Amino acid sequence: MMKKKILALALLILTIGVLIPGASSKTLSYYAGDAISYRGQLVVATTNTNNLEIWKLSGSTLVKVITLSYHDPIFGQPKPFYDVLLDIGGNGRLYAYASAGSSFYRYDITSLSQAGLALTTTRQVSNPIWDWYGRITKLDGNIVTVGAKGIKIWNGNLDTIDTFNFTNINNSYNVRLADNSRYILNINSASKTLEVFDMQQRQVVRVVSLNYAKTDGNHAAYLDPSSNYIYAIDDNKLKEFNLNGEIVNSFTHKGDQGFDVVPSSNGQDIYFSDGVGVVKMNKNNLQTVNYNFTYKYEPNSWAMGLKAVTVNGSEKLVVFDNANILVLDGNSLKKIAWTQAMAIDTRPVFTENLFLRETRTALNVYAITGGGFEVNEGVKVQYLDQTLTAKADGQGRFKANVLVPISTSTPTRLNVTATGVQSGKHYSIAFPTVTSTVAK
């Protein structure tokens, strides 16, 4: 009888602390990814289904060659990939760099086959601090990660060689490093601004207003290295700015949302996406060269992420359009190939009440853990006159360390508030801090 009571109590405690899953059955959309030309073939990759998926273009067909899932190495639980970068190494081999929260991985995908992937070496890079790599890109031959705690630049040995205290806690996709190796562009749709960060001065040097109805979503600006003009698309117009933040030119588009701007390889044109389709424009006068209303292809088509790639002298435009991944001819913008979004979101939807807890981990350091926030949203942690940024995980939970001034007097109470950046959810706790250096 006693064993039954203990078991019942244990089950009750476990149930109280557990998240309650709900059903989910929607099709996962394709909204972003990467593409590259390798050995005369177009290769496309995305992590939008939480797995790393890779295709190659064969004639008029996108053929999926690799699907890779990620499992937590400690607990064995499935975890999502967040972004992917395709890169050709100095040895001529093709690599896929995939971010997985607090780590990122380098996979040798030269064979472009599932079987070949199993025979190659994988490199994992983890960080000793609680960072969250949401985006992975490249600058001057070096890998770059955009995380919750800023931007890190890595050398060929994947050692950190530089860091910048600049990021987008809501959406790291919106952070773009300019080809001129000096500026970082960030579209902050929450504040409806474009921020220009100077890597030499290590600070934001320009803030430009944009028009967005939604406070989230993916947006990519482009800085032309020859003119130093910035091109950004908001919900009304494609806008051309100089580095002083002054509008040079603009073009009113047909959609009610603006997403990406990317350059053409011909040096004269740019492409942009506005949901209903894609437009190719002459960047010098913002005159339309061609367009395609891609929303007509499927009921849920909605053009978002773009990547222009030259393959065997012919430019291809890869469009991540929610219902499909499209490959368009770079000149006519006619459809060459596509693959349909088929993956079903089987992840449980977790719900739990807001909470915060503190744990003292050092003399004047407290680990703050919380939950009940939106999945993957940014969380602001405020205490004293300090504000920290964290990122909720796939269950709406986060962790942050707060540093409390060492006191030589009696303990004081510390008030800590956590606020979800997108949801507005907030929760506060107060607890006594014991950091006295006076001997007891």
Provide the pLDDT for residue 103. Answer: 87
User: Which of 340, 357, 372 marks a domain boundary?
Assistant: 340
Provide the pLDDT for residue 110. Answer: 95
Question: Do 426 and 321 share a structural domain?
Answer: no
Provide the pLDDT for residue 119. Answer: 66
Residue 393 lies in a domain: yes
Q: Residue written as tokens 């030309």?
A: 37
Question: Do 376 and 233 share a structural domain?
Answer: no
Residue 5 lies in a domain: no
Residue 2 lies in a domain: no
Q: What Å distances lie between residue 143 and 32, 84, 105, 138, 354, CA to CA?
A: 19, 11, 12, 5, 37
Could you give the CA distance from residue 342 to residue 300 in angstroms, rounded to a whole number? Answer: 12
Provide the pLDDT for residue 122. Answer: 75
What is the full DSSP assignment across 297-357? SSTT--B-EEEEEEETTEEEEEEE-BSEEEEEETTT--EEEEEE---B--PPEEE---EEE
Q: Report phi then psi at 251, rounded to 5.
A: -145, 125
Domain extent at residue 356 = 349-433
Could you give the CA distance from residue 66 to residue 230 in angstroms, rounded to a whole number? Answer: 36
User: Which of 288, 320, 340 marks a domain boundary?
Assistant: 340
Residue 322 lies in a domain: yes
Provide the pLDDT for residue 124. Answer: 81
Asked if 99 and 82 count as a contact pair (C-beta separation under 8 A), the reply is yes
Residue 274 lies in a domain: yes
Question: Do 416 and 295 share a structural domain?
Answer: no
Provide the pLDDT for residue 14. Answer: 30
Question: Do 294 and 168 share a structural domain?
Answer: yes
**CB 407: neighbour CB atoms within 10 A?**
15
Provide the pLDDT for residue 403. Answer: 84
Question: Do 217 and 151 share a structural domain?
Answer: yes
Residue 24 lies in a domain: no
Question: Do 270 and 219 share a structural domain?
Answer: yes
Sheet harboring 261-263: ordered strands across? 261-263, 269-273, 278-282, 287-292
Asked if 354 and 60 count as a contact pair (C-beta separation under 8 A), the reply is no
User: Which of 340, 366, 386 marks a domain boundary?
Assistant: 340
CATH assignment of the domain containing 231: 2.130.10.10
Condensed to tens digits (0 to 9), the pLDDT of residues 180-230 reads 789 999 999 888 999 999 999 999 999 999 999 876 789 999 999 999 999
Question: Do 61 and 180 share a structural domain?
Answer: yes
Residue ranges of the chain whose pLDDT lies below 70 = 1-25, 73-75, 118-119, 121, 127-130, 215, 345-351, 407-411, 434-440
Provide the pLDDT for residue 13. Answer: 28
Structure tokens, 188 = 């902050």
User: DSSP label at 103?
Assistant: E
Asked if 294 and 277 count as a contact pair (C-beta separation under 8 A), the reply is yes
CATH assignment of the domain containing 354: 2.60.40.10
Residue 13 lies in a domain: no
Provide the pLDDT for residue 439. Answer: 38
Q: Report phi then psi at 62, rounded to 5.
A: -90, 115
- The separation between CA 87 and the C-alpha centre of its own chain, rounded to angstroms, equals 18
Question: Do 271 and 409 share a structural domain?
Answer: no
Question: Do 152 and 46 share a structural domain?
Answer: yes
Question: Do 243 and 155 share a structural domain?
Answer: yes
Residue 318 lies in a domain: yes
Strand partners, 391: 378
Question: Do 127 and 256 share a structural domain?
Answer: yes
Question: Do 242 and 121 share a structural domain?
Answer: yes
Number of domains within the chain: 2
Could you give the CA distance from residue 31 to residue 42 in angstroms, rounded to a whole number? Answer: 18
